[in-house]
Amino acid sequence: MLKILASRFRQGHRTNHYPAVAPPMPDRFRGLPVLQPGKCPDACHACADVCPTEAITQNGELAVDLGRCLFCTACTDACPDGGIAFTGEFRLATRTREDLLVRPDLAYEVAQALDAKAMAIFGRSLKLRVVSAGGCNGCEVDVNVLGTIGWDLGRFGIQIVASPRHADAVVICGPITRNMEMGLRKTLDATPDPKLVIAVGACAISGGPYLDQEEQWGGAPGAGIHVDLFIPGCPPHPLTILDGLLRLLGKVKP
């Protein structure tokens, strides 16, 4: 026991201090894109042409749909003049699908907190049931990382539970394949009302790289499922997921 206590003393505090202090992001992290259409030649559509999910529009106006974006850098590699670039901004979660559109003339609207009535229900304790609806498991892994000592999701009153009957919210990962549709809908039905639905990753929002495949529904909106929080990425960084959850609960100020 003394050796264990001594080891813990040497290790010190292992949990990051977010939201008081954001942990350092790796140099290779790709966050919110910045668009500078003034650098784009009038006839150039190179970034839109190479985008594998058609997330970029260039019909006289440059815009990026983060609900489809895979953050793959194909666009920045193809852009000869630096009209599009990724930043280190990790605050990407939004409350509506429309807010995921990045435009050069509008500020990006991050997620707002629940209303007072919903906050009274979910604000102090939020139990999550994660459903892997046919994805690659990348988003599921980054959600699970939040339960480790480095993140300690439970310190915010947020926990991942095994049964939907114990859950307040359903976290959807994956494009919702036809084989998983029934399982997801049964999970939603088994989760007591009122409940929240959180779409994590490009697949759950739009179908991601599978968006043109007939074997899937194109994410929660494509399956007609109402979503309360959209967290883009492929997969989103754990800090992006945590920030979105905390913003939803009003624990992070805009």
Residue 168, domain CATH? 3.40.50.12280
Inter-helix orientation angle 238-248/138-145, to 10°: 70
Asked whether residue 93 is assigned to any structural domain, the reply reads no
Q: Which residue has the higher pLDDT, 237 or 105?
A: 237
Asked whether residue 29 is assigned to any structural domain, the reply reads no
Asked whether residue 160 is assigned to any structural domain, the reply reads yes
Backbone φ and ψ of 80, nearest 5°? -80, -15
User: Which tens digits make up the pLDDT trace of 141-178?
Assistant: 999 999 999 999 999 999 999 999 999 999 999 999 99
Give me the percent of the chain exceeding a pLDDT of 90: 81
Of 11-20, 95-104, 112-121, which gets the smallest average pLDDT?
A: 11-20
Write the secondary structure of 76-94 as one string of H (helix), E (strand) and C (coil): HHHCCCCCEEECCCCCCCE
State residue 105's pLDDT score: 85
State residue 236's pLDDT score: 98
Does the pLDDT at position 70 exceed 70?
A: yes
Asked whether residue 163 is assigned to any structural domain, the reply reads yes
d(CA 212, CA 177): 12
State residue 8's pLDDT score: 64
Asked whether residue 28 is assigned to any structural domain, the reply reads no
Confidence of residue 82 (pLDDT cuts 50, 70, 90): confident
State residue 13's pLDDT score: 67
Confidence of residue 2 (pLDDT cuts 50, 70, 90): confident
Asked whether residue 225 is assigned to any structural domain, the reply reads yes
Does the pLDDT at position 4 exceed 90?
A: no
Residues ≥6 apart with Cβ < 8 Å to 183: 131, 133
Asked whether residue 184 is assigned to any structural domain, the reply reads yes
State residue 11's pLDDT score: 65
Backbone φ and ψ of 239, nearest 5°? -70, -35
Does the pLDDT at position 59 exceed 80?
A: no
Considering its fold, how many domains does the chain have in total?
1
Residue ranges making up the domain that contains 185:
116-248
pTM of the model: 0.93
> Can you tell me the mean pLDDT for 101-122?
94
d(CA 185, CA 154): 27
Asked whether residue 31 is assigned to any structural domain, the reply reads no
Does the pLDDT at position 231 exceed 80?
A: yes
State residue 75's pLDDT score: 93
128 beta partners: 160, 169
Across the chain, what does the average pLDDT equal?
93
Residues ≥6 apart with Cβ < 8 Å to 190: 163, 164, 165
Q: Give the DSSP per-residue string, the chain.
A: -HHHHHHHHHH---S--TTTSPPPPPTT---SEEE-GGGS-TT--HHHHH-TT--EEESSSEEEETTT-----HHHHH-SS--EEE-S-----BSSSGGGEE-TTS---PPPPPPHHHHHHHSS-EEEEEEE-S--SHHHHHHHHTTSTTT-GGGGTEEE-S-GGG-SEEEEES--BHHHHHHHHHHHHHSPSS-EEEEESHHHHH-GGGTT-TTB-SHHHHTT---SEEE-SSSPPHHHHHHHHHHHTT-S--
